[in-house]
């Protein structure tokens, strides 16, 4: 018989006041006990429930009194068959165990009472023993004992009964095509989220400049923020690509913003790529970095040889930073810094300049030049502006990160100077000495010797590290982690320092050492 998992109960307050016995109808001790049991059932929503046989009749009465439930035909047949099989089986094997016979008879009587109670609300007539399969005529006592357990032949009415198909809970609606407004809204939302992350990164670098945070920790956090920004854009990339990509939409939004603010887009556009009156708006919407990146892609070559910025738009002044009084001065500073950085980022993404450490800026530029059909991404334009803010925020102290990296490298090299020449020592030294010479400077010196560039185009050595504190922090983290990793491997060999330390602590914890000082 198919029974509900638990009866439907009303909400019962756990703070019900006690009442005197006999007050009202059905308010005696039995009713209080029932309320207590019902409260326990109502409080639990999960788990298995064991229904006692004696409760079958009460549950049947509860179902019959609702007047809104009709017992299915299959349930009625199953109930009647269960009664008949139980009673037939009892007649054939009964008489051997009085207690077992009494239990068996009690269960059959309960099922019969349930059947009689539910009979008014049953869909169809009851089962008749004549519907069973023919009896086995072999005369064997053992086979006749289990005749009642054979599979029954379903009746014609049962076979012809209509199937009840449950209505699906899922509703199907027509998918609406995204509109241009949807794409612009998604892009504006993305820009707002990126601006919030940018503020958090700026605060981290202020803490570093004040000596309150470690360079490696701030750099790792910044690079992780770049990864998060990329993942956020990927969530709406399909929507933005349906309208020619994020760069086209960004330019459209910028033009609309300029029109709203009364800025003429055509004024001074040939030399400055956009009207410098809208400089602050262009930087907020990353049009400044997009203009520089488009210009660099157009003029550069995707080759393994390093490109060189020859000062077409001026040179970046580290002392001035972002303190230019006019928008034209600020835009010149931005463009000079970015155009100096982009060739180095491209170089470190090639086979000639690839190293053990790559930040998201290097990966982003490398992917951009690796796929000619790849569109500009908002996260990359935003990340370049974050780099620009870090550089200009540190001002003339932008070389502080490179100074820390250099000191850490020399410290590790000195510590490994007198150690045995093991493979681990050699590997660590290769890692920390890679930047004893600037790879970009070496590559450009070769080009200078070949006459590809002029001496005036060559910037001082380690300019890339001086102006990229995030990359310095990632290198510093790599130096430290690699040293610790290899040091543990050396110390943890059998009989080494690690084994001795573990043995010492084990003996001390067991009070086996005479001197505990």
Q: Which pLDDT tens digit goes with each residue over 443-498?
A: 999 999 988 888 888 999 999 999 999 999 999 999 999 998 887 776 666 656 66
Task: Report pLDDT for 5.
Answer: 44
Task: Report pLDDT for 18.
Answer: 43
Which stretches of the chain drop beneath a pLDDT of 70? 1-49, 89-100, 123-153, 168, 170-175, 266-273, 301-304, 490-498, 515-517
For 141, half-sphere exposure in the C-beta direction (CA atoms, 13 angstrom radius) is 2
CB-based contact 425:493 (threshold 8 Å): no
Task: Give the span between the Cα atoms of 253 and 478, in whole angstroms.
Answer: 41
Task: Report pLDDT for 39.
Answer: 54
Q: Find the Cα–Cα–Cα–Cα dihedral 187, 188, 191, 195, rounded to 10°.
A: -170
Nearest C-alpha neighbor of 465 from the set 327, 311, 367, 355: 355
CB-based contact 433:356 (threshold 8 Å): no
For 300, half-sphere exposure in the C-beta direction (CA atoms, 13 angstrom radius) is 27
Give 476-496 as a DSSP string. Answer: HHHHHHHHHHHHHHHHTSTTS
pLDDT in tens, 132-178: 444 444 444 444 445 555 555 677 777 777 777 777 676 656 567 88
Task: Report pLDDT for 453.
Answer: 87
Coil/strand/helix, residue 154: coil
H/E stretch holding 395: none
Task: Report pLDDT for 374.
Answer: 87
Burial of 401 (0-12, 13-18, 19+ CB in 10 A): buried
Task: Report pLDDT for 501.
Answer: 77
Task: Report pLDDT for 164.
Answer: 73
Task: Report pLDDT for 112.
Answer: 87
- Token pair, residue 112, equals 């019969």
Q: Find the Cα–Cα–Cα–Cα dihedral 299, 304, 309, 310, rounded to 10°.
A: -90
Intra-chain end-to-end CA distance of the chain, in Å: 76
Kindly report whether the global pTM for this prediction surpasses the value 0.85. no
Phi/psi for 401 (5° steps) reads: -65, -40
Helix and strand numbers, DSSP H then E, in the chain:
21, 0
CB-based contact 307:440 (threshold 8 Å): no
Give 413-455 as a DSSP string. Answer: HHHTTTS---HHHHHHHHHHTGGGS-HHHHHHHHHHHTTSS-G
pLDDT in tens, 240-286: 999 999 989 999 999 899 888 888 876 655 556 678 888 999 999 99
Nearest C-alpha neighbor of 369 from the set 467, 298, 308: 298
Task: Give the span between the Cα atoms of 327 and 243, in whole angstroms.
Answer: 32
């Amino acid at each position: 018989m198919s029974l509900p998992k638990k009866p439907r109960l009303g909400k019962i307050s756990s703070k019900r006041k006690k009442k005197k016995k006999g007050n009202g109808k059905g308010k005696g001790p039995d009713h209080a006990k029932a309320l207590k049991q019902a409260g326990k059932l109502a409080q639990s929503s999960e788990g298995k429930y064991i229904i006692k046989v004696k409760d079958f009749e009460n549950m049947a009465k509860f179902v019959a009194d609702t007047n809104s439930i009709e017992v299915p035909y299959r349930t009625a047949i199953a109930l009647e068959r269960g009664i008949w099989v139980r009673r037939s089986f009892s007649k054939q094997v009964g008489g051997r165990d009085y207690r077992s016979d009494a239990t068996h008879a009690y269960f059959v009587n309960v099922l019969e009472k349930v059947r009689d109670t539910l009979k008014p609300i049953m869909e169809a007539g009851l089962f008749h023993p004549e519907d069973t399969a023919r009896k086995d005529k072999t005369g064997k006592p053992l086979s006749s004992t289990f005749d009642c357990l054979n599979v029954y032949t379903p009746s014609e009415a049962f076979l012809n009964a209509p199937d009840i198909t449950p209505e699906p809970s899922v509703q199907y609606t027509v998918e609406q095509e995204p509109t241009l407004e949807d794409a612009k809204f998604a892009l504006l939302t993305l820009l707002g989220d990126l601006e919030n992350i940018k503020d958090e990164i700026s605060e981290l670098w202020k803490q570093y400049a004040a000596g309150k945070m470690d360079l490696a920790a701030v750099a790792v956090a910044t690079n992780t923020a770049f990864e998060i920004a990329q993942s956020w854009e990927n969530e709406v990339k399909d929507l933005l690509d349906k309208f020619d990509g994020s760069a086209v939409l960004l330019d459209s939004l910028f033009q609309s913003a300029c029109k709203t603010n009364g800025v003429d887009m055509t004024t001074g556009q040939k030399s400055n790529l956009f009207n410098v009156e809208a400089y602050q708006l262009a930087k907020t919407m990353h049009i400044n970095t997009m203009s520089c990146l488009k210009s660099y892609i157009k003029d550069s070559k995707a080759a393994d040889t390093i490109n060189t910025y020859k000062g077409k738009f001026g040179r970046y002044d580290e002392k001035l930073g972002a303190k230019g009084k006019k928008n034209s001065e600020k835009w010149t500073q931005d463009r000079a810094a970015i155009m100096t950085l982009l060739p180095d980022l491209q170089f470190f993404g090639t086979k000639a300049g690839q190293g053990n450490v790559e930040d998201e800026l290097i990966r982003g530029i490398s992917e951009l030049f690796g796929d000619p059909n790849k569109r500009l991404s908002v996260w990359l334009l935003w990340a370049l502006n974050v780099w620009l803010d870090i550089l200009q925020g540190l001002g003339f102290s932008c070389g502080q990160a490179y100074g820390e990296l250099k000191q850490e490298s020399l410290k590790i090299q000195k510590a490994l100077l007198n150690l045995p020449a093991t493979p681990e020592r050699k590997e660590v030294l290769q890692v920390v000495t890679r930047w004893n010479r600037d790879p970009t400077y070496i590559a450009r010196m070769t080009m200078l010797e070949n006459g590809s560039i002029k001496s005036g185009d060559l910037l001082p050595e380690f300019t890339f590290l001086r102006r990229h504190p995030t990359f310095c922090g990632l290198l510093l983290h790599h130096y430290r982690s690699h040293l610790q990793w290899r040091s543990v491997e050396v110390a943890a060999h059998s009989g080494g320092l690690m084994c001795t330390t573990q043995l010492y602590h084990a003996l001390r914890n067991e009070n086996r050492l005479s001197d505990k000082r």
